[in-house]
Amino acid sequence: MSETSHVTPAGKPRGRALGIPFTGNPGRFNAITDVPGVEVGYTTLVSGDGKMEIGKGPVRTGVTAILPLGREGAGQAIAAGYHSFNGNGEMTGVSWLEEAGALNMPILISNTHAIGPCHRGTIDWMVRNKPEVASQWMLPVAAETWDGYLNDINGPHVTSSHAVAALDAATNGPVEEGSVGGGTGMNCYAFKGGNGTASRIVNYGHRDYTIGVFLQTNFGSRNELTIAGVPLGTELADDNPMESFAASLPAGAGSCIGIVATDAPLLPGQCKALARRVPLGLARTGTAGSHFSGDIFLAFSTGNRDALNGRFPRGEPDAGTYSHMDFIPWGRMDDFYTAVVQATEEAVVNALVANAEMTGRDGHRSPALPHDRVVKALRARGVVAG
């Protein structure tokens, strides 16, 4: 493992820096970008303090962009599947994804009321970078979680240009976590949450494949929090301003968007099966899945690049043309399922650990996960070495 398994590019600690044990073998960066070709970019918007005025702030939000095949691969169709664990949320473009089993757009994630600008921004970016794709119809994928506790969510602060900037900023390598991009104003288990990522290597036959998970975490009630199998909600129940600030926000409300990437060759139905495993990883951190939490997941495979392309820029193929796909046998999928669960659990912990306290609109405060108290509790139970 490289040093990036323990700290983010900005030097913030990740879960492993606290000695928290995780199962499975991570990739070089322990991030979704361990999957070759995947790039991640952010636009982060933080401004203003004090009382909220709609349209004026304070602002605590942003945009995250995930490019499955990088800039050059935008527009190429790859196998993908989608799963809604709890539908109190939104992810655009999934009707066609379900129909065709294919994804050929970047993925953007932001706040609930910024879906429109992100959708438009993807179109603008594709028009500029892939005009041959933009000359036909496009169905961008834009997803959301609610950041209205800290952010002036009803103000038009996220624009299509911010979405374009996040796409332009996308790169491979280590991924920043915590309060950046779409995760800027998010909360998890009533601590400061946001973005988290992790990866696992799966050996199949004579080669290794990678499973990468990226989460925008904004879910869970404080009393549910579990780390490394240890329930911590009761011990960390104090300093919980979020769950007491208003009865109109039910405990546990929020949402989680999860993106799973792999270079293993998979069928669309197998991608959907990976997406269905994300909730199992979330459950390891304590959540039971609130009715008011929109938990929506998408998985894609880069292993059959363009095999599902329904567009033919050089004209329609001959009537006798066939497409072909390699895929892991269904009976050998268990190790890939396990990798999704393991990486999801670690991604949640990374989102919590790589964070700092944030104060937003109307003085609303989201405390950071107290590292020292977590380590002390895990050490007392023999989970972390003394």
Active site amino acids = 255, 293, 295
Name the residue among 217, 230, 152, 149 with its Cα closest to residue 189.
Answer: 217
Residue type, 78: I
β-partners of residue 82 are 298
Nearest-10 crossing angle of helices 268-284, 334-353: 50
Strands (E), the chain: 39-47, 59-67, 78-87, 102-103, 107-111, 141-145, 187-188, 191-192, 194-204, 207-220, 226-227, 230-231, 252-262, 293-301, 358-359, 365-366
Residue with token string 């104090």: 238
Name the residue among 177, 204, 208, 206 with its Cα closest to residue 193.
Answer: 177
Alpha-helical runs (H) found in 66-170: 70-73, 94-100, 115-129, 131-134, 160-169
C-alpha span between 42 and 289 (Å, rounded): 27
C-alpha span between 113 and 334 (Å, rounded): 37
C-alpha span between 154 and 146 (Å, rounded): 11
Residue with token string 């900023």: 169
CB 247 within 8 A of CB 378: no
Residue with token string 């005025």: 53
Name the residue among 126, 110, 123, 193 with its Cα closest to residue 158.
Answer: 110
DSSP, collapsed to helix, strand or coil, labels residue 253 as: strand
State the CB neighbour count (10 A cutoff) for residue 142.
25
State the CB neighbour count (10 A cutoff) for residue 33.
27
C-alpha span between 297 and 292 (Å, rounded): 16
